[in-house]
Structure 1
């Protein structure tokens, strides 16, 4: 399976090796229903809504209700063999987050937050004009947008103020840090586009290069020890620690007269 539909939730943190914090985004992926099958693609739906569109009547008969989101995702790739093609889900089957696992590389497509009409500083990162030398109310202006006679117009694609956000965006090369099958959640490393409860398409692209599975949890809740720390602990455990007796009754003390005689000899020198 290459993709599923989900809803963006909040951002949080997870702990990796040696308790390093990893910023992750939680994605809620309820079971996706297969509504139709094509050559190498599936039409899947997620969620539920009350109103029924005429174009969705065929899907309502399959799912038994009207899905809130309906999308066509790729199921097979050129590298997959005939056995996987035979295991293709059938109409009416439900696909869960179990198709993902830690270490998978995914790309997430969503709709960015709408920012309305934005200026060039916010929209394109312009630095603005100088604050002195007679400048007045032009601190955030774009400046010149072209010459006069030649070409006598503004070039297409010129970065100017305009509508910002509310557009389709795909974040690639993201790592799946954790999968919670009980709560239908996927934790993806980093930020992804969209607002909370925004619609997302999560597509698997492969495995993260150089990925190593997370270490098993330590009984004490701490991170597992590396080789150097284990050797130090073994050395301390095998070493014979001698106890020093500190009881005054067992310590031989010199007579007081001998101590006084030694003091007089030192004074005479």
Structure 2
């Protein structure tokens, strides 16, 4: 009988903010094209306000983490599981945005004992009509030409002008800028966009995970989210029977950038 090989985890780059051991730690998983710094402010605020340990990490093919051709949610879940086990951070509160939300759901469905409660930010386990459109950003990112040795704020202006025709939402442009870094005077993207482009069908498929997660779950979304339409709610409730849905008006897809205060209030209220 053939055995199903489990994905091999890669060692993720991370930052752990220290706190008490008595409360479940909080773990943030960022979305596609981003890295752990997108949640730096939220992580620091939550560590301060709740006294909990807070972990932020770079997903494979993002930030400082290794590049790997396997882009499946099973592989990304295996990476997070390995890191949580290594650091002794289970059960944890898992908060994932977009791609990170689907990774978080995969982990919770596979290993419910590792997750004390779950927050999915503007994403569903099902396929949304808008999902494939995300990848139209990659050619726009790759075609930008930023002069060498200009300041970060000047680079931001160049990028802003270049991306405007392709990316209408200013909070998404701001989100993308988070992944631009200067190395030896040259601006480069800290994301393996070539790999993401080649495996884009893996990101827009239904979550393959078997199982049910019965822990407390919050689906936090924009009031008109194309990623979590009401037609998805029944299936979500089957996989996550304790799921609550909370909408934030005019929050867009990058809720934590467009509505940071409302985002933090929702997380704090869910934790209490």
Give me the TM-score of the superposition, normalised by structure 2: 0.21
Which of the two has greater helix per residue?
2
RCO comparison, higher one (Cα < 8 Å, 6+): 1
Higher Cα Rg, which structure:
1
Which of the two has greater strand per residue?
1
Give me the TM-score of the superposition, normalised by structure 1: 0.22
